[in-house]
Amino acid sequence: MSSMGGRDLESGGTKNTSRAPPQAAAVSSSSSSYAYDPETHWTSWLVPMFVVANIAVFIVAMYINDCPKNNIGLQGNCVARFLGRFSFQPLRENPLLGPSSSTLRKMGGLEWDNVVNKHQAWRLVTCIWLHAGIIHLLANMLSLVFIGIRLEQQFGFVRIGIIYLVSGFGGSVLSTLFIRNNISVGASGALFGLLGAMLSELFTNWTIYSNKAMALITLLVIIVINLALGILPHVDNFAHIGGFLTGFLLGFILLPRPQFGWLEQRHLPAGVRLKSKYKAYQYVLWILSLLLLIAGLSIALVMLFRGENGYDHCHWCHYLTCVPTSKWKCNDT
């Protein structure tokens, strides 16, 4: 997700915090090592529709932004002026080639004051469809295509759509609990939810994987690298973490596969058929994940709308989203 505002680079320039998109080029390796694949493969249409919707919203944002009109006297600073009202804000204001922070705020960007004090809870959802710039948009949409299409083909549009949207919401809630002075936008929380769901899907379907160790190592490396990128300046890692945790729990709930032999047993005599579609540990993980998900989101929402600051309950959590160095400093508020 991207936040207009945030950590101040000592070198100056615009204050812009982005949810870094997951780098997903190798993510499909974990889903290619099943011992068997009994499930129907769906045609992916929802993920492409998500991509189209995000692009359409960005075009609308640039139309509303109208850089030449809203920067009278500074038209020469608008980037790609040949695009007319679709030209980008000056690079010193938005280096990601996109609209202004005021436009993002107007269109539903995530901001603590608007959500809590002005009761605009809808921003927890609308911010998922906004992007700070064309670079931010392209990076997120490429990641969504790499991750989402493969998952939708395996598990269908209903389950993957739920994981994407609820994870984006979970990322927005955690982000707003900790970040108060920034405007956050972006789909990265939802994308990290898909990564989290891939990890829990591997765990809950552990017995049907043929190359378990390699699948787990590959996925963990991808996740760790992408979460580590969140400690860089201008990146809202709380949205990443919130989306990842939400997706991780949803994976146990929505992505368990039948135990080996379940679908083939219709050809077997009744006396030798499996009694349960899923293994006992899958049911346990399903129940625990459902309880944790409900409790976690409920507690977080209560804290948020009571106006509580997440840092009051976790003083070290600022290190999860920003690690100060000689090149930049962090603003915990």
Which of these is catalytic: 131, 136, 240, 318?
240
- Is 41 annotated as catalytic? no
Region for 141 from its dihedrals, namely left if φ exceeds 0, alpha if ψ lies in -120 to 50, beta otherwise? alpha
Spatial CA neighbour of 140 closest among 21, 232, 15: 21
Rounded to an integer, what distance in angstroms lies between the CA atom of residue 240 and that of residue 20? 8
- How does DSSP assign 106-126, residue by residue? HTT-B-HHHHHTS--TTHHHH
Q: Is residue 17 classed as helix, strand or coil in its secondary structure? A: strand
Q: In the numeric block, which tokens belong to residue 22?
A: 């997951």
Respond yes or no: is residue 315 known to be catalytic: no
Task: Yes or no: say if 140 and 21 are a contact pair by the CB < 8 Å rule.
Answer: yes
What is the three-class DSSP state of 9?
A: strand
Residue partners of 318: CB distance under 8 A and separation at least 6:
178, 311, 330, 332
In one-letter notation, the amino acid at residue 237 is N
How far apart CA 96 and CA 137 sit, in angstroms, is 9
Is there a contact between 2 and 132 (Cβ–Cβ < 8 Å)?
yes
Crossing angle, helix 212-228 and helix 188-204, to 10 degrees? 160
**Active-site residue (options: 188, 200, 234, 318):** 188
Runs of H (alpha helix) within 270-313 = 280-305
Total number of residues shown for the chain:
333
The residues assigned a catalytic role are 188, 240
